[in-house]
Amino acid sequence: MDIKQIVLDLCALSDEQEWFEFKENWFQPEALGEYVSALSNAAAFHYKKYAYFIWGVNDKTHEIVGTTFNQYCEYNKEPYQNYLARNLSPSINFSFEETEIYGKRVVGLVIPAATEIPTAFKEKRFLRIGSSKCNMKDYPKREIELFKILDGRTETIETVPAKYQDLTFQKLFGYYGSKGIVLNQKTFIKNLGLKTEEGEFNILAQLLSDNSHFPLRVSIFDGETKGSNLFSVREFGNDCLLYSLDELLRYGDVLNLIQTDESDRVVERKEVPLFDNKAFREAIINAVLHNKWVEGNEPMISVFSDRIEILSRGTLAPAQTMEGFFLGESIPVNEKLSEIFLQLHISEKSGRGVPKITEMYGKDAFSFRENSIVVTIPFERINKVGNKVGKKVGDKKPLNSRRQKIIAEMRDNPNITTAELHNILDVSETAVENNISFLRENGYIERVGSKKAGYWKVL
């Protein structure tokens, strides 16, 4: 095992993942045993053969800094490695490896993934949730999911054979080439994980093949419900998924009409997009990346007169929490597809996607159903009939849920501050101020009196 290359590969990742940990000189004998249990179980969760605990690397910057950690130390009058092995159950064949990188000493603890049953330390099972080490008994659903994985009962796009086995990959080679990456004809199937252990092409291979056999459709309705007339259906699927995704994102530019706001015009007209393109992009990529493809269903995009709904099949990843989801702790449902998206710079594991959507539209943009997750992106339409109420006759611009919430809070408490709205809405004060500016400019509210002594009046 080339521990030097492993450390360099781990350092190249943008964030620590649940299956490896960086420290400089830290050593607490009991806590390290708990980490070994947690990391071993996390490796199984993420379908990794090994987990790693690395000394000599800064956990914030991933800089190689070197370590003085002594893997041969004693604890309770016996070699620590003996103590660790004696208290792990079932027994796992861990090993300490030492190397030198850039002239700095680095030590790696190589930890095999749990097999058959979770790894325990002193009869307690631990797991990782984000960067935290937790007792598994406090998370029974995750424990059940881990047992399913260890029993081979959890299906993934890597383990389930493709419905179609006569697959070709010319477009995949073309896409990689367009990104400046050369795929090796002899090794790409193995390197990208496109076959099951039995040697059949898996669903991941089908998705990346020249014909994924998955339709990606955008349905456009002329009203606010699916009971409205179906105006058109655009088809982007049955292609290599990477190209389908590109086409779908480009179609977002077609949908995103740029509107001209002539109100209060002095010299330049104000151009207002129908929706935030960055939020749309993140929602589409997340829907494709985290969709439960093993069930044979694709994401669904519906465009209504007042919004876009982007539905992905399945629920949160087994190791994900609702809190972690909104904080942007990225735990992909489809691990290998996530690695490919990262390699091709389609997405990143910085976890900015969900926060970017909530920053613009709030947590209410997400709807968690029994078997799906829906992101709703509201439209901000410029009125064609009239301008602001109080100036000319006409309708006001429709409001998204966040702006409706601000108005409701101002009705209840006219003296409410930006800081208080920031806490209530769980968005930045800048986002609050931008929304207040919109409401003032469009005749929904006005400020009576000074900034400090005044109050809000809902019109």
Give the distance from CA 309 to its chain's centroid.
Answer: 18
Lowest-pLDDT range of 57-61, 64-68, 90-94, 392-396? 392-396
Is the same domain home to 356 and 425? no
Q: What is the tens place of the pLDDT at every residue in 129-170?
A: 878 899 999 988 888 888 888 887 678 899 999 999 999 999
> Among 125, 152, 179, which residue terminates a domain?
152
The interaxial angle of helices 429-441 and 418-425, nearest 10 deg, is: 110
Residue 269: which pLDDT band, with cuts at 50, 70 and 90? low
pLDDT tens digits along 330-371: 778 898 999 999 999 998 765 678 999 999 999 889 998 878
Alpha-carbon Rg of the chain, whole angstroms? Answer: 26
Domain for residue 42, yes or no? yes
Amino acid at 168: T
Q: In whole angstroms, what is the distance from residue 330 CA to residue 338 CA?
A: 10
Q: Is residue 137 part of a domain?
A: yes
Is 393 inside any structural domain? no
**90: preceding bond cis by omega (within 30 degrees):** yes
Angle 152-156-158 (CA atoms, 0-180°, nearest 5)?
100
What is residue 366's three-state secondary structure?
strand
Residue 51's DSSP bridge partners are: 111
Counting residues of the chain whose pLDDT is more than 90, the rounded percentage is 55
Distance CA 83, CA 77 (A): 9
pTM for the model stands at 0.58
Residue 134: give its domain's CATH number: 3.30.950
Position 268 pLDDT exceeds 70: no
Residue entry with tokens 């406090």 = 138
Are 371 and 405 in the same domain? no
Phi (first) and psi of residue 263, to 5 degrees:
-65, 140
Let me know if residue 304 belongs to a domain: yes
Q: Does residue 299 come out as left (phi exceeding 0), alpha (psi in the -120 to 50 range) or beta?
A: beta
Q: Are 330 and 281 contacting, i.e. CB atoms less than 8 angstroms apart?
A: no
Q: Dihedral, CA atoms, 389, 392, 398, 404, nearest 10 degrees? A: -10
Whether 145 maps to a domain, the answer reads yes
Same structural domain, 345 and 407:
no
Do 320 and 449 sit in the same domain of this protein? Answer: no
Identify the residue whose tokens are 């501050």. Answer: 417
Lowest mean pLDDT among 194-198, 350-354, 361-365, 406-410: 350-354
For residue 448, what are its two tokens? 């009576």
Whose structure tokens read 């030492």?
98
8 A C-beta contact, residue 19 and residue 39: yes
User: What pLDDT score was predicted for residue 266?
Assistant: 52
CATH code, domain carrying 357: 3.30.565.60
- Cβ(42)–Cβ(127) under 8 Å? yes
* Whether residue 105 sits in one domain with residue 26: yes
Answer yes or no: are the C-beta atoms of 255 and 278 closer than 8 Å: no
74 plus 143 within the same structural domain: yes
In a domain, 364, yes or no: yes
Q: How confident is the model at residue 265 (pLDDT cuts 50, 70, 90)?
A: low
Q: Are residues 140 and 221 in the same domain?
A: no
Mean pLDDT score across all residues of the chain: 87
Do 414 and 366 belong together in one domain?
no
Look at 42-56, 75-89, 130-144, 294-308 and tell me which has the smallest mean pLDDT. Answer: 130-144
H or E stretch at 45: helix 29-45
Closest CA to 392 of 430, 426, 443: 443
Residues 136 and 24 in one domain: yes
Q: For the chain, how are helix, strand and coil distributed in percent, rounded to 5? A: 35, 20, 45
Dist CA 218 CA 330 (whole Å): 26
pLDDT of residue 385: 31
Distance CA 134, CA 122 (A): 14
Say yes or no: 317 and 412 in one domain. no
What does the DSSP 8-state code read for residue 233? E
Q: How far apart are CA 120 and CA 36, in angstroms?
A: 9
Question: pLDDT digit string (tens) for 234-251?
Answer: 888 889 999 999 999 999
Domain count, the chain: 3
pLDDT at res. 447: 86
Condensed to tens digits (0 to 9), the pLDDT of residues 62-86 reads 999 999 999 999 999 999 999 999 9
Per-residue pLDDT at 390: 27
Residue 249 lies in a domain: no
Residue 262 confidence (pLDDT): 63
Residue that terminates a domain, selected from 152, 178, 199: 152
Residues 17 and 113 in one domain: yes
DSSP strand pairing (88-89 vs 120-121): antiparallel
Residue whose C-alpha is closest to residue 208's, from 248, 235, 170, 161: 170
Average pLDDT over residues 4-25: 89
Looking at residue 387, its pLDDT comes to: 32
Residue 388 covered by a domain: no
Domain that holds residue 72: 3-152
Same domain, 374 and 433: no
Reference 287, options 305, 319, 314, 247; nearest CA is 314
Q: CA-CA distance, 313 to 271, in Å (whole number)?
A: 35
